[in-house]
Every structure is written in structure tokens, then in C-alpha cells.
A and B are shown apart, each in its own frame.
Chain A
Amino acid sequence: MPDWRSERAARDARLEAGRAFAEGKVVVAESVTDLLEAVLRPGDRVCLEGDNQKQADCLARGLAACDPERIHDLHMVQSGIVLPEHLDVFETGVARRLDYSYSGPQGARIAKMLYGGKIALGAVHTYLELFARYFVDLTPQVALIAGVSADRDGNLYTGPNTEDTPTVVEATHFKNGLVIAQVNEIVERVPRVDIPGDRIDFVVEADTPFYVEPLFTRDPAAMTETQILIAMMAIKGIYAEYGVKRLNHGIGFGTAAIELLLPTYGERLGLKGTIATHWALNPHPTLIPAIESGWVKQVHCFGSEVGMDRYIRERPDVFFTGSDGSLRSNRAFCQTAGLYACDMFIGATLQIDLMGHSSTVTQSRVAGFGGAPNMGSDPHGRRHPSDTWMKAGREAQMSGDPALMRGRKLVVQLVETFGDGLVPTFVERLDAMELATKTGLELAPVMIYADDVTHIVTEEGIANLLLCRDADEREQAIRGVAGYTPVGRGRDRVKVEALRARGVIRRPEDLGISPLDADRSLLAARSIKDLVHWSGGLYEPPAKFRNW
């Protein structure tokens, strides 16, 4: 007789071992490490919740404090390597293998540990891709998650930062795994049930509220004239040109500038209602003026943003909110929305090569991918048309039966030709290639592949790669907007002018834009305080962004 319930039995044994440190489901913060040492087994696949925003930090500290004699060689599967503890477990030997997606602040250390062989790396994924593998071949035995509050039965309120939690719980609980949640407080009754209590095995009352990084707050005070120029060109040359209504924005200053130009420059161009109405986007504070001006119909969010909660509560027509009034975010659904229901992704990158491959990896930093490669890719499974998608498709294909023509998602790279410290954005060869060689990765960590990119916008102009008919045209189109970087200065001037004559390259003046008009007075908000005013005092920015 085969044993069809061995996983279930193992789970029950873990539960039983953990009960010694719990009162019902509730565990005090001081007992976290004891609990984890009781329920974990060497070699376990463990999902520690944490992405580019929220962090199950109390559980991360508890895990890092585990005795490597007892708990070792764990296989960590998690969205983000963000906290120092996420890497400490590899230093001590508590963990050995890693599959992840994003690593912003720990990018330099993770690179060092990869070179040093401290981490056996499976792969760096996109968020959606990693979530998918939770249900196929990376299903966790134990999940460590974070929420705002829980009752004694384990009913969990995640608050506005629901993010990855439902996905992680779904994959773990329903496949014989154990779910441990840290919460800021135990309450009699949760404001809303984001995760039903029967899916939560233990609830840890954390010593401090879980950490959330204000990753999507861009201070308008730091926006430059160049970023404003690029934003103007994008609005006129892409948003208006393609009538882009459904979209996702990246995290950079360029896209934040676009958000702040909608109610001013966009309004002047008469574009209100015709572009940028439906969004898959975190609640960017810089979107407030556009929302308040009536540009935005609705926004679905991956996560929340620090300080935006009160504002979101008061704008339920725009945001997805629960019965309690607060935001309901969901990273997996929003990533899916960005992939299939948005006609454009527009974001920044650190390096672009001559073909248009882009990467945020530098030789000393492995930042991971997060969601950008997913949002910034053309989904071949898409079947519904839209004017934007069809127009891009027509530009890409010149011939064939129109009824068999596939549309194209707009994938736009919005970059300044030079980054910080006069480092060129355009390069002959991506640093990601060196990294792959040095660490023996089979795939170079490319953020967005060249064949997905449709446009590159710089302060020098817009290159429409859809209209390029061969590799040489493509290279010259890229060189033609690469400014004074070595790549840009290496252009064939005659070919670039020919591309400009065909509209493949469009300069600011071709769009009727003077660089001299790119002025900060165009921004709907020039400071965080202006955003607070736009929100009617509902936006409550974190302390580090205040100057009042």
C-alpha cells in the first residue's frame, strides 16, 4: 500500500512540535526561534515573505537566530532578498539554496556571496514566474508571512499591503505546508479577513510592526529639467500617438515626471480621458494630482505605499478597497493584469546595449528583477485587441493577412543617456554578460530582452524600434538617441538622419517640443508638500521625505 498521506503526517508532526511554544495558535515574539527550530527540518523549502515593499522581519530575525546545528541547508524560496537577515542565514549555514526574484538594497552583498559560493543559486525570477513555481516545483514546506493583525483563530488582516501573502499561503497551505504569520497585534476581531484562519497555523505577535519600504515615493523636488523633457516627449510621442489608456509605470523619476505632467502638459495637449485612464500600479504619491484632476479611472495595486492609506480610503472609486475601507493589493493578480491587460509598460533601466537588451545588473550588484521583465514583455497568450495594441502590431509587421495579425504590447525604456557619476546608459556589452560568465549562470540576467522593447526614449529623442527592419537599422536607431555616450558618438550620422526622415527617430523639435520649455514649473507638484496639498491633507508622507 503506498502511503498517500506522508506529507500530511509530516505536517501534523511539525504542528505538534510547534504547539509547545504556542498558546492555541498564538506565539510570543521571544519564542519565534524556538518555534522555528521545532517546526523546521534540515533541507526544508521555506518561503520567507518579503518583496520590494513589506517584510516579515520579525520572523526573518527569528530564522537568522536558529542554531545551524539543528536547522541547516534550507532552500529559501522568496520574492525578495532585502533584509540583512535574508543573507545572514546563508552565512551561518541555516540556508543553502536560493530561488528569488528581487534584491534591491542587498544587491552588492548577494553578488559577493554568489562569487564566494556561499549561496547555491537556483535562478533569479520575475515575481509572477516565481509565484508560478510555488505551485509546480518550488512548493514551500513552511511559509513565514506578515500581516497587520490576527485574531486568536488565525484570521488574518494584511492591511493595505496584502501583496504576496495570498499566493504564498495558497501554495503552502493547500499542499501540506505550514503557515506562520507575524502580526503587529492580536485582536478580538480583524477589520477584514484577508486570509481565513484555517490556513494559518501559528500567529506570532511581533515585537515591532513589520517593515515597509516607501519604494515608490519619488520627491518632485528632485526632478530635473532633463527628466521633464523626456516625460514631455513620452506623453506627446507615445501616449498620445498610440492612445495609451491601460498601462503600468516603472519606479523611476522619469515616469513619476510623466505622472506630474498629466494634469498640466497633458491637459494642455487635450489628452485628458484619452490616455492613462486604467492602471496596474502601486499607489504612487506622484499620481495624486492626476487622480485629483480626474485623469484616472482606476488603479489596481501590487502593494500599497507608505503614507497613502488614508488617501486611498477616501478614493474607493479609483482603488480596490475592502469592506473595511482599506486598500486590497495583490501582487500576483496585479502582475497578471500588467502582463495581459495593459497595453504599455514604461520604465527605466541602468544599461541598454546595441540591440536593445537592458539590465539593471552591474558587475558589483545583482539587483534581481522584481516585476519589470514580466510587465515589460509582450504576452503571446493575449487574444483581445485594443487600438494601441493593434497600432503597435501594424508597425511591427508590414505584410500578411490583417486577420492573422497579432498586436504588440508597447514596452518603452525611458532613460537618460548618462546615469549618476556620468556613467553611460548605452553600452556595447551589458555588465550582466560578465556577471553570467563569472558566476557560471546559464542565462545572463537581462531585465528586458531586445525583442520585447518597442521604444527607447532619451533626452535626445525617441527611437521606435518597431519600425526598424533589420539589425543595422535597430543599432543605428539606438545609437541615434544615445546622446554623447561612446555608443551615441559612434553613430553613422547619415543613417541616423535617414531614420529620422522616416520617423523611426524623432527629436524633440520633430515633436514640436523645445528643450527650453522643459521647466519645473510644468510639474503639477514640485514638492512632497504639494502632493499633500493635492490630496487635501490625506497623504501622510514618511518623515524622511518631509521638509516641514
Chain B
Amino acid sequence: MESLTFRHTIQKPLPGTKRAAITGVVASGNLEVLLERVLPPDACEVAVETAINGYGDVWEAVVADFVARAQPGGLRISINDGGARPDTVSLRLLQGVRLMEA
């Protein structure tokens, strides 16, 4: 297991009022993403617990692209990962943001 945390400064808060949402399931090649609106509106933190070690740079790149795209200001995002591929991670993150915007 490996724990990774990424912090980003965001231009604007994510729209919507939902306090928390969860999507995905922890399974082989899959992950769950818990999103909570608990941070200052210009902050985003992504904390990852992953079953597969040694992919820190890939996670960093995936999270950076996601943050640039979704502008998830105010969110603390917690991930339990069962070895998902980067595209699945991106998809779940976007799914989670959509739930929070609802």
C-alpha cells in the first residue's frame, strides 16, 4: 500500500452545494472516490491510498490534469484504489465532480 497526497490552489470554488458524494467501488482495477466540500474555496486536496506502489508520478499527472480541467475548489477528495488504470481514475474523478455539482 502507498499513501499519496496532492494539494492544489484553485482559481474558483466548484459550483453546487452538495456537501459530500462518493462514486466507484474498491475492486481490482477500480477505485472509489469520496468528495467532501470542506476546504477553503481556493484549495483542493487529493489523498490516495493505493494498492499498487510506485506510480506516484502517474498519480501526480492524473490529478494535475483533473484539477486543471475541473477546477474543484473547496474539495477534499479521498481515494481508495484497487489498482485502477489512469483513465479509470480520471473518469471516476469527473463522475465525482458531476455528483458534487448537482
Contact = CB atoms under 8 A, between A and B. Distances in A.
Q: When A and B assemble into the complex, do they touch directly, with CB atoms less than 8 Å apart?
A: yes
Contacts of B58: 484, 489
A43 interface: no
B98 A422 contact: no
Interface in B66-91: 83, 85-88, 90-91
B39 to A, nearest CB: 24
Contacts of B90: 515
B91 A484 contact: no
B9 interface: no
B86 A417 contact: yes
A518 B87 CA distance: 12
Contacts of A516: 91, 94-95, 98
A515 B94 contact: yes
Given A226-B85, A460-B87, A489 B61 contact: yes
Interface residues of A, number: 16
Contact of B83 (A416, A422, A515, A518): A422
Given A484-B62, A489-B61, A422 B55 contact: yes
A225 interface: yes
Contacts, number: 40
Contacts of A484: 58, 61-62, 86-87
B54 to A, nearest CB: 9
B52 A226 contact: no
B94 A483 contact: no
Interface in A478-500: 483-484, 489
A485 to B, nearest CB: 9
Nearest to B90: A515
Given A484-B61, A489-B61, A422 B85 contact: yes
A160 B52 CA distance: 46
Interface string B40-73: 0000000000001001011001100000000000
B13 to A, nearest CB: 21
Given A417-B86, A422-B83, A516-B98, A226 B61 contact: no
Contact of B52 (A225, A229, A422, A489): A422
Interface string A325-354: 000000000000000000000000000000
A456 B86 CA distance: 18
B95 A226 contact: no
B53 to A, nearest CB: 11
Interface of A: 224-226, 229, 416-418, 422, 459-460, 483-484, 489, 515-516, 518
* A-B interface, 8 closest residue pairs, ranked by CB to CB distance from nearest: A484-B86, A459-B87, A418-B85, A484-B58, A226-B87, A515-B91, A484-B61, A516-B94
Given A226-B87, A416-B85, A459-B87, 8 more contacts: A224-B88, A229-B91, A417-B85, A418-B86, A483-B87, A484-B86, A515-B91, A516-B94
7 contacts: A226-B88, A226-B91, A416-B85, A418-B85, A483-B86, A489-B61, A515-B94
